Amino acid sequence: MTERVSPLDELQGQLFGFIDQSEQPVLVLTSLDEEVPTIARVFEAVDGESPGDVCFFHAAPVTGAAAYVEGLVVAVLAQLAEVNEERAENGDAPLAPPPPACRARDIDPFERLRALLVHMTTWLPPGGGHRLVVALVPERIADHETQARIAGALVPFGSYAPWMRDVRLVLRDDRSSPFAIDALRRAGVSGPYVYTTRVTVGDLADDVALDAADPALPPARRMSALMQCAALDVALGRYEAAVDKYGTLYQYYDMHRVLALKAMAVQGLGDVMTRLDRLPAARGHYLQALDLASDAKSLPVILQVAFAIGEVDMRLGAFAEADTSFTLGAVTADKLGNLFMRADLLERAGEARWRAGNAPGAVETWASAANVAREHGYDERLRSVLMRLRDVSARGGHVDIAQRYGDELDQVRARLGAGGGARP
């Protein structure tokens, strides 16, 4: 009897086959948003399979060209810093940072994208035989035009440029509303491999559970897999199973005094309580997690928990407390260099102030959010904040100010090609 191949094994085989071949440097994955975390796990198996290869996976949503490319550059620089730190420990020379053209915000974002990939090929070992594997697989494609233009900027009309010889580029099309392949064909481009993914959260849960139960793996690896299993249990509504796993994780990380991961286990319990609509209990877990993360000086966990506390406080009507949490999150995001998240949190802090009756504080905070969004080309967030500022100004009788915000809003909408947004 033929052994059944799991969807994850099939996807992994397709990726390894694509990387090993040399005829076509571009693969388009036609997938659903909910499949992206599973695809990311499959790419973990690809990364490190060949030590000389350079692998980069980016799942940030596509909401506009400038914001997406800026976020991509920031992510590449962060990974480069980690790689160079490891190379320094091994006595190896650092890899060269991207040239200024990749970081200049006044240059066309698609030119920046192409220049970034060209530079990344210089990180490959000399002599050939190694590949630069770049997977641009956004978890959400809000801006189809930008995603199509990304494909158009990297997939040539004729023969591939010499720099792409050692590149294996994976792009994503939206299976719920396909557009990328048709856009390439209409432009006269043909040739990219296309693969339709059929993986689910359940497939990922089954795969991770095998790691968690594998006695041959180191305990730390098994606990890491168990943390993923617990999060998947929450996503699948298996709350009792999630609580049991988070309890095990808490005990393990408490015994080994790993405060940051202990905080994540407590945060997971808060997530379960939030899903069960037991908000006071959720808030208690989140506050405990925040204390642990603060003691561990773990900024990423502080950021996650501060956002979670703020959202719970908004639902509880504790708007002043929500403002405090969102503001803490915004400060933490700034320290981490995650300026897109900083803009998101500033908008939420402004909403908390507005709902608490602090209109001047809300306007000041939204103005700060708008400044961050402008500076980093985050047009989706800028659109939302400008709508708030325009409407508040109009209600206050500040017609000229409202008009200026409205004019800028029209420009942002034109860039995004869509309207809509939030109201205070």
Same-domain pairing of 143 and 38: yes
Q: Is residue 424 part of a domain?
A: no
pLDDT digits (tens, 9 = 90+) for 193-214: 888 887 665 655 666 666 666 7
SS3 assignment, position 179:
coil
**Taking residues 376-381, what's their average pLDDT?**
87
In a domain, 422, yes or no: no
Residue 291 maps to which CATH number? 1.25.40.10
**C-alpha distances in angstroms, 297 versus 188, 262, 303, 311, 381?**
53, 13, 11, 22, 29
CA distance 187 to 416: 21
Q: What is the mean pLDDT of residues 101-130?
A: 89
Q: What is the pLDDT of residues 143-182, one digit of tens each?
A: 888 888 888 888 766 667 788 889 999 999 888 888 777 7
List, in sequence order, every residue forming a beta bridge with 132; answer none if it has no partner.
54, 167
Domain range for residue 407? 214-416
Please give the average per-residue pLDDT across 250-259, as a whole number.
Answer: 92
pLDDT of residue 51: 77
Q: Residues 96, 146: one domain?
A: yes
CA atoms within 13 A on the CB side of 345: 26
The least confident of 1-10, 112-121, 368-377 is: 1-10
Same domain, 180 and 236: no
Handedness of CA 253, 255, 259, 263 (dihedral sign): positive
**Residue 270 pLDDT > 60, yes or no?**
yes
- Indicate if 115 and 34 belong to the same structural domain: yes
Contacts from 229-233 at CB under 8 Å and sequence distance 24+?
229/205, 230/265, 230/268, 231/268, 231/271, 232/201, 232/204, 232/205, 232/208, 233/205
**In this model, does residue 56 exceed pLDDT 50?**
yes
Tell me whether residue 47 is in a domain.
yes
Sheet with 132-136, side-by-side order of all strands: 54-58, 132-136, 167-174, 26-31, 193-196
Same domain, 278 and 340: yes
Q: How many domains does the chain have?
A: 2
Q: What is the pTM for the complete model shown?
A: 0.69
Residues 230 and 319 placed together within one structural domain of the fold? yes
- Write down the mean pLDDT value for the chain: 87
Of residues 367 and 142, which shows the higher confidence score?
367
Residue 423 forms part of a structural domain:
no
Does 423 score more than 50 pLDDT?
no
* Residue that is written with structure tokens 């808030």 in the block: 283
